[in-house]
Amino acid sequence: MWLKKKKEDVQINLTPLIDVVFLLLIFFMVSTSFKKETKVSLTLPEANGETLDANAESIEVTVTKTGEIFVNGNGLVNRDVTTIRNAIKQTSTDTQTPVIISADAAAPYQAVITVMDAAGQAGFNNLTLPTQKPDSENN
């Protein structure tokens, strides 16, 4: 007599696979560095100073080399002090929030001073002007 063997169901245990996927996910989340990208291309002026850590809660005002002004990436309709002041006030009500004025190296000096004046009129006194390290020191 022939006895029929009962076929066992083949099962794949997914628990180790899920564990590995979660470990990879955690690894990539921890090892990824987040860089704050802006829509406006700038060439920052050069200086040999201390580097400051970027604060997550800050107002970034960008001045291009043509004198255009952006507040947190949003372009302004004109370069008037009241327009800039209102845009900064709308961004944050806390006057202790740092205002980072990123100006192109070739930006008009008057545009940078206008932004600083508007921030001061809005009550923001914590102003930062970021720079980049020189490529080579010729001193």
Q: How far apart are CA 67 and CA 65, in angstroms?
A: 5
Q: What is the pLDDT of residues 27-41, one digit of tens each?
A: 988 888 766 665 666
Question: Which CATH fold would you assign to the domain 59-128?
Answer: Nucleotidyltransferase; domain 5 (3.30.420)
Q: Give the closest residue to 56 by CA, choosing from 36, 40, 76.
A: 36
Can you give the pLDDT at residue 139?
A: 46
pTM over 0.95: no
| Tens-digit pLDDT profile for residues 60-103 | 999 998 889 999 888 898 889 999 999 999 988 888 889 999 88
In this predicted structure, the answer to whether residue 21 has a pLDDT above a threshold of 90 is yes
Q: What is the DSSP track for 26-92?
A: HHHHHHPPP----SS---PPB------PPPSS-EEEEE-TT--EEETTEEPS---HHHHHHHHHHH-
Cα gap 69→42, rounded to integer Å: 12
Yes or no: say if 113 and 121 are a contact pair by the CB < 8 Å rule: no
Q: Residue 31: what pLDDT?
A: 85
DSSP assignment of 100-138 equals EEEE-TTS-HHHHHHHHHHHHHTT---EE---B--SS--
**Where in the chain are the domains?**
59-128
pLDDT at 13: 87
For residues 38 and 23, the model is more confident at 23
Average pLDDT, the chain: 82
Percent of the chain with pLDDT over 70: 78
